[in-house]
Amino acid sequence: MVTQAKPNLSKLTREEKVQLLELLQEKARRKARRKLYDYAPYPRQIDFHNEGAHYRERLFRAGNQLGKTWSSAYEIAMHLTGDYPEWWGGRRWDRAVVGWALGESMESTRDTLQRLVLGRPGEWGTGTIPGDRIVGTPKRAQGIADAVDSVAVRHKSGGLSRLYFKSYEKGRSKLQGETLDFAALDEEPPLDIYTETLTRTNATGGIVWITFTPLKGMSEVVRLFLQAPTAARKDVNMTIDDVGHYTAEKKAEIIASYPEHEREARAKGIPTLGSGRIFPVADSLISVDPFPLPDLWPRIAGMDFGWDHPSAAAWLAWDRDENTIYVYDAMRVRESTPAEQAPTIKSKGDWIPMAWPHDGLQHEKGSGEQLAEQYRAQGVAMLHENAKFPEGHSPDGQGRVSRTSVEAGLIAMLDGFYANDPARYEQQRVNTGEDKPLRIKVFSNLTDWFDEFRLYHRKDGKVVKLQDDLMAATRYAFMMLRYAATPPKPKAGQLVRRRRGSSWV
C-alpha cells in the first residue's frame, strides 16, 4: 500500500500555502456535496433498509440521537437518484420516482428531513442528495421561512425524480390525491395521517416508513406495528447499545441524564408498556457474545406453535458446572407448516429434545392429526408430554400453582435473569441456600429474541399475548430442562456433528 507523504508546510511559500488551503477547501466542499457515497450504516440500520424489499410498511423505532433520521434521509436520496451501495438489499427503482418527506409541522420538517436531505439554506447539495444531482433550485414553501416545497433530482436512468415536503399539522385532507412511490415520515404521525399516506402508495405498490422515538407510549401507530403485525408490516428496533459513536461511559452518562420514566424510550426506543415490562432487565445484564458450546453441555429446545402469528423455537444449553443456561439459537417464522420448518429445526441438532405447549395436543382441522405428532412425523425430537414443571414441583412454594402455570415460569425465568447481577446472585444464594443459583444468559446475536424480550409486557395485570412467540418457546424449554440431553455417542466409523460457532459441522 502506497501512502502519500504529507507536505512540509514550513518549506512552502505563502503563495503555495494559499493554493494548498484552496485545494483543501475545494476537497472538503466536494466531499460535503457527496455524502451519499460515504454512508457507513450500523447493522441495525442495514436491517431497516433491507427489510424494504420484503415489507411495504416499516417502523424504525429507536432512541434519541442514534441515527434513525439519518437512515431515512439516506434512503430517500438512494431512491431519488437510483444510486444504491453494494451492500443494499432493500427496495430498488430503476426509474425516476416520486416521494414525500413528512414531519409534524413544516418547521420540524424543515429542521430535520429537509436539512438532512438538502443541507441548510444557502448550502443546497450538502445533504444526502448529491449536489450535482439536484436540478435547478428547490421550490420554496409559502409562509414558512427557509422551508422547501419540492425538489427535482436527476435519477441515474436519466429521468427526473421529485420529492415533496409535507406536514401532519395540515390534516388528512391536504394529503389526498397524489400517487407516490415512497413516503418517509419522521416522528410519530396520527393514525389517520399514516393510513392516508400509505393509501397514496397503493397504486404503485410503493413503500412507507416511519422513524421515531416512542415517547407517546403504546399509541395507535405503535400498536399497529407491535400488536397487529401483517405480512406487509415490519418493526425494526435500534437501541443505544447498537451504535458505535458513543463510548460505554458516554452511553451511561446519556442514559442517566434522562428522567427515569423516559429512559427506555429515549435510549432504547421501547414504548411505555401498559402495566410494565415482564422482564425489566437491561440487555447488557444477560447478553453474552456467541461462543462454541461444549458437547458435554445438555441441550433442549422449546416450540410455540403458530400460523397467523409466527411459529417460534428457542434452543438452550445448560452449563451444569456453573448452573447457567444459555439461550443460543432461535427461529421465528410465519405461515409455515411443520414439514417446512422441520429441516431448519433438525439442522440445529435432530437429537435435541423439543418441548411444546398443551395446544400441541389439539387436532389440526385439515388432517385431524395432533400438532405435536405432525412435527414428530417430520423427525423433530418432540418430547413425550407437553411442557410442565416436574412432579412435586411447587412454583409458589405452597402447592397452589399449576405445573403448567405461565406466571410460575415467568417468575422462575426472571430470577434466572436477575441472577446475573452479582448483588442479586449473592442474595439468591442466601435466600435459597444454593451454592450456585441458576442464571440465564442469551447470545447477543439473537436480535428477534431481544426485540420480543424488550416488549414483553402486561396490561391491566395480564400478560399481553402478542409478539411473545420466542418468549413462550424459551419458557417451554426452561420448564422441561430436566429432559435436556447431550449428543448421542457415534457408532464405530460414524461421523460426528459438532457445534462450531453458530453452525453444526
pLDDT at 498 over 90: no
Q: Domain for residue 489, yes or no?
A: no
pLDDT, position 281: 87
pLDDT at 201 over 90: yes
Catalytic annotation, pick one of 57, 75, 187, 188: 187
Q: What is the mean pLDDT of residues 278-297?
A: 92
- C-alpha cell of residue 46: 442495514
Q: Does one domain contain both 289 and 220?
A: no
Indicate which CATH number applies to the domain containing 172.
3.40.50.300
pLDDT, position 491: 61
Residue 315, domain extent: 283-483
Q: Does one domain contain both 316 and 415?
A: yes
> Taken in order 409, 411, 414, 418, is the CA torsion positive or negative?
negative
pLDDT at 331 over 80: yes
pLDDT, position 12: 76
Percent of the chain with pLDDT over 70: 90
Which residue(s) pair with 442 in the sheet? 287, 327
pLDDT 10s digits, 41-63: 999 999 999 999 999 999 999 99
CB distance 115 to 127 below 8 Å: yes
- Sequential DSSP letters for 373-386: HHHHHTT--B-SS-
Percent of the chain with pLDDT over 90: 64
Last residue in a domain, options 222, 242, 258:
258
Q: Which residues, 6+ apart, have CB-to-CB distance to 239 below 8 Å?
A: 62, 63, 66, 267, 268, 269, 270, 283, 454
pLDDT at 315 over 60: yes
pLDDT at 382 over 60: yes
d(CA 185, CA 72): 9
Query: What 3-state DSSP class applies to 153?
Result: strand
Angle ∠(92,83,90) on CA atoms, nearest 5 = 30
pLDDT, position 391: 75
Q: Does one domain contain both 73 and 158?
A: yes
What confidence category does residue 259 fall into, taking pLDDT thresholds of 50, 70 and 90? confident
Q: Domain for residue 23, yes or no?
A: no
Sheet with 182-186: list strands edge to edge.
Answer: 134-140, 148-154, 160-167, 98-103, 182-186, 207-212, 57-62, 233-238
**Least confident interval from 79-88, 262-271, 294-303:** 262-271
Last residue in a domain, options 225, 258, 291:
258
What confidence category does residue 401 fall into, taking pLDDT thresholds of 50, 70 and 90? low
Summary mean pLDDT of the chain: 88
pLDDT, position 464: 82
**Least confident interval from 33-37, 78-82, 183-187:** 33-37
pLDDT, position 502: 36
Q: Domain for residue 496, yes or no?
A: no
d(CA 372, CA 382): 7
Q: What is the mean pLDDT of residues 353-377?
A: 75
Last residue in a domain, options 258, 273, 301:
258
Rg (CA), the chain: 27
Is 15 catalytic? The answer is: no
What confidence category does residue 335 fall into, taking pLDDT thresholds of 50, 70 and 90? confident
Residue length, the chain? 505
pLDDT, position 338: 93
pLDDT, position 359: 77
Q: Domain for residue 488, yes or no?
A: no
Residue environment code for 223-249, b if the CB has 16+ CB neighbours within 10 A, otherwise e? ebbbeebeeebbbbbbbbbbbeeeeee
Taking phi first (over 0 means left), then psi (-120 to 50 degrees means alpha), and beta for anything else, what does residue 354 get?
Answer: beta
Number of domains in the chain: 2
Q: Domain for residue 278, yes or no?
A: no
What confidence category does residue 313 fall into, taking pLDDT thresholds of 50, 70 and 90? very high
Q: Does one domain contain both 220 and 320?
A: no
- C-alpha cell of residue 482: 430436566
pLDDT 10s digits, 440-495: 999 999 999 998 998 888 877 788 888 899 999 999 999 999 999 999 876 655 55
pLDDT, position 364: 55
Q: Does one domain contain both 186 and 304?
A: no
* pTM recorded for the entire structure: 0.69
Which residue(s) pair with 354 in the sheet? 301, 382
Q: Does one domain contain both 252 and 303?
A: no
d(CA 209, CA 47): 13
Q: Does one domain contain both 426 and 288?
A: yes
pLDDT, position 366: 47
pLDDT, position 209: 98
**Least confident interval from 45-49, 280-284, 330-334:** 280-284
pLDDT at 396 over 60: no
pLDDT at 181 over 80: yes
Quickly count: other Cβ atoms within 10 Å of residue 254's Cβ. 17
What confidence category does residue 367 fall into, taking pLDDT thresholds of 50, 70 and 90? very low
Q: Does one domain contain both 252 and 287?
A: no
pLDDT, position 361: 58
pLDDT, position 2: 45
Q: Domain for residue 182, yes or no?
A: yes
d(CA 451, CA 225): 13
Q: Domain for residue 425, yes or no?
A: yes
Q: Domain for residue 22, yes or no?
A: no
pLDDT at 142 over 50: yes
Q: What is the mean pLDDT of residues 287-293?
A: 96
pLDDT at 273 over 70: no
Identity of residue 205? G
pLDDT 10s digits, 217-244: 778 898 888 877 788 999 999 999 999 9
Which residue(s) pair with 57 in the sheet? 208, 233
Q: Does one domain contain both 90 and 210?
A: yes
pLDDT, position 387: 92
409 vs 81: which has the higher pLDDT: 81
- C-alpha cell of residue 434: 444454593
Helix (H) or strand (E) holding 459: strand 457-459
Q: Does one domain contain both 132 and 225?
A: yes
Q: Does one domain contain both 135 and 179?
A: yes
What confidence category does residue 119 fall into, taking pLDDT thresholds of 50, 70 and 90? very high
pLDDT at 365 over 50: no
**Least confident interval from 124-138, 172-186, 258-272:** 258-272
pLDDT, position 199: 96
d(CA 66, CA 93): 28
Indicate which CATH number applies to the domain containing 289.
3.30.420.280
Which residue(s) pair with 503 in the sheet? 500
CB distance 485 to 298 below 8 Å: yes
pLDDT, position 275: 58
Q: What is the mean pLDDT of residues 12-23?
A: 76
Q: Does one domain contain both 254 and 289?
A: no
CB distance 58 to 209 below 8 Å: yes
